[in-house]
Chain A
Amino acid sequence: MTTSMDSRADRPRPGETDRLLEVKDLHVEFHSREGVAHAINGVDLHLDRGETLAVLGESGSGKSVTAQAIMGILDMPPAVIPRGQILFQGRDLLTMKPRERRAVRGAEIAMIFQDALSSLNPVFPVGWQIAEMFRQHRGLNRSDAKAQAIRLMELVNIPAAKERVNAYPHQFSGGMRQRIMIAMAVALDPKVLIADEPTTALDVTVQAQVMDLLKELQAQFHMGLILITHDLGVVADIADRINVMYGGSIMESADVRDLYAHPGHPYTQGLLDSIPRLDMKGQELYAIKGLPPSLMRMPSGCPFHPRCAHAQDVCRSEFPPRVELGPRHESACHFAQEVVRG
């Protein structure tokens, strides 16, 4: 089912010479006594230097699991990766030795999470936690690492960084804590930054500031940014491309404007229709009728068919192929051409 995509992805295209990340046919399962949950079912995605890729989808669609698989921080077991490749600058992370992989983690590919308070260690000063990156990856001594920590806290606009370097996470506001997470993530100048719903837990006013900071840092360091969100407003502001996920697969992939103007998948259309105005930031997507699929018993054929108004017999029996709808625009739907024309 991925052959068409693979051959296309291997062909260099203008402006895509600086490929950082390429995920191919990734599968992730969670094994438990109740059975096997098929969380990720053949995800393909790619990311270039300086690019912002938004990954959009309802809660439970597999966004975080995809990100954690790329980072290599899934608990295995219960997670199993039976198939797939995660190429970072051409090297497969999944077949690397643990030691090599650890050198990539945090230093080359970094990640920030939704809840900064619980994501920071409560018993260590924030400066210590940032400095740890330099101490462990670069072997810096205590005072040099601390100086770096202060520099980074200043970089992410934490007021009085020098005085607050020894403060603890609980002594900061939510927005400041997420800035500290960001400082820690960009500490070693990573090539890829994955932000998993970085502003969902924040006040609306603070959300915009944190997104601006991410945008700024991305431009400054020329990072590839994967922004996981279910907030369509955020996406429109900062993303170059969007991947829409459903049931552990990517349903549609397109440039932002293209996707908003010509959605080529019934699920994407549902998402766009569920929000009356694009500037309604922080709005949850839940207007599509029906429930996300059970990972234990994935529907046959197209995972979206139980909720799709366009569904036909073929949708119930066969997984839809990826249909090219234009430059960098693909949709995994049997009727993509009809859907995109409306």
Chain B
Amino acid sequence: MSKYALRRLIQMIPVVLGVTFLIYALVYALPGDPTAGKCGERPCSPAYVAEFRKTYNLNDPLPLQYVKYLGNVVQGDLGESQYGQPIRDELAERFGTTFKLGVVALVFEVVVGLLAGVLAALRRGGFLDNLVLVSTLFVIAIPVFVTGRALQLYLGVRAGLFPATVSFEPTWFELLLPGFVLGSTSLAYLARLMRTNLGDNLSADYVRTAHAKGLSTRRVVGVHALRNSMIPVVTFIGYDFGALLGGAIITEGIFNVPGVGQYVFRAINDRDGQVVVGTVTALVLVYLVANLVVDLLYAYLDPRISHD
């Protein structure tokens, strides 16, 4: 098992290298002058441009630039934003907020999504089942920014139940509404996944055996069937958490959450290449780690998978 984990960690290296190089190349291949707009209304002085190009190794060929950049990253230096702040410190702070938002989203997703899925599976074809099917279809079909704006307007601005935007250091309560919006699509998918999966498992032979053993219905469903249904569900949740952290751009934008998504969004607008590359590199790492955790968990959940 630990051998497998090690192998997977080693396998991550080329993926990280490949993805970051791609992003690096893309960002620096953008047309236009990287120093444009850095000196107010006037074009920058030749001395400034020369200094800038030297700092960021822009005179080197692209692969060499990338290698030098990577060298800094390995030493924990992600560079500075155009405003002179160290990107690493900014990211660390913002990751805390995004992580908090992701946790809120995940709790909604897991609690509401799984509950809806289980209830629907237990009452296949019934009222609750149809309610879950229709409402999840709605959530999946409507784009997040529409749901987000609508909830912000009705629950936040009009009804005043929740803050419409969050403060600079958001509390858990402030993150409830953004978290719900962020998790809503995954919640809907998870409910459907659970419904189908538990439904299939409930008609499996081993469930019939569990009944024949004289176990209570609660135990048959809650232990025997549910434990099998957890295999794809945990996989989904794990991958999804990685995606939630990186995919909060829209939600963070709507609710003005000072997280990583907002940072990237602004950096792209400001053409701040250092920030874009640094942040995306960090997000890729987070995503890969989440995947690794899921794969290790998967082996634990499904004994038929062997990692020898």
Contact = CB atoms under 8 A, between A and B. Distances in A.
Interface of A: 71, 73, 102-107, 110-111, 113, 115, 118-125, 132-133, 136-137, 168, 170, 181, 184
Contacts of A115: 205
B302 A123 contact: yes
Given A168-B304, A170-B304, A122 B214 contact: no
A234 to B, nearest CB: 22
A168 B209 CA distance: 16
A121 B215 contact: no
23 contacts: A71-B211, A73-B208, A73-B212, A102-B216, A103-B214, A104-B214, A105-B212, A105-B213, A106-B215, A118-B204, A118-B205, A118-B206, A119-B205, A119-B206, A122-B304, A123-B227, A123-B303, A124-B224, A136-B213, A136-B219, A170-B304, A181-B209, A184-B209
A115 B208 CA distance: 12
Nearest to B215: A136
Contact of A107 (B208, B211, B214, B303): B214
Given A106-B214, A119-B206, 10 more contacts: A71-B212, A73-B211, A73-B212, A106-B212, A113-B205, A115-B205, A123-B227, A136-B214, A136-B219, A170-B303
B212 to A, nearest CB: 5
B256 interface: no
Nearest to B203: A75
Nearest to B216: A102
Nearest to B230: A123
Contacts of B228: 121-123
A54 B208 CA distance: 22
A59 to B, nearest CB: 17
A177 to B, nearest CB: 12
B27 interface: no
Nearest to A137: B214
Interface string B181-207: 000000000000000000000001110
Nearest to B224: A121
B301 interface: yes
Contacts of B301: 123
The 5 closest A-B pairs by CB, nearest first: A106-B214, A105-B214, A118-B205, A106-B213, A121-B206
A145 to B, nearest CB: 13
Nearest to A104: B214
A107 B209 CA distance: 13
A168 B208 CA distance: 19
Nearest to A170: B304
Interface residues of B, number: 21
Contact of A119 (B208, B303, B304): B208
The secondary-structure label for the interface of chain B is helix
B256 to A, nearest CB: 45
A184 B212 CA distance: 10
A213 B77 CA distance: 70
Nearest to A110: B212
A170 B215 CA distance: 23
A136 B215 CA distance: 7
B50 to A, nearest CB: 65
B233 interface: no
Contacts of A132: 213, 215
Contacts of A121: 206, 209-210, 224, 227-228
A245 B265 CA distance: 73
Interface in B275-308: 301-304
Contacts of B302: 122-123
A142 B260 CA distance: 48
From A115, A132, A181, residue with most partner B Cβ within 10 Å: A132
A252 to B, nearest CB: 28
Contact of A168 (B212, B215, B216, B303): B303
A112 to B, nearest CB: 9
Nearest to B211: A73
Interface in B214-244: 214-216, 219, 224, 227-228, 231
A123 B210 CA distance: 13
A111 B212 contact: yes
Contacts of A181: 209
A103 B209 CA distance: 15
Contacts of A170: 303-304
A132 B205 CA distance: 17
Contact of A113 (B208, B215, B224, B227): B208
Given A118-B204, A121-B224, A102 B214 contact: yes
Contacts of B224: 121, 124
Nearest to A114: B205
Nearest to A75: B203
Contacts of A124: 224, 227
A212 B168 CA distance: 75
A106 B206 CA distance: 14
Which of B204, B208, B210, B219 has the largest number of chain A CB atoms within 10 A?
A: B208
A110 to B, nearest CB: 7
Contacts of A106: 212-215
A121 B302 CA distance: 11
A284 B211 CA distance: 29
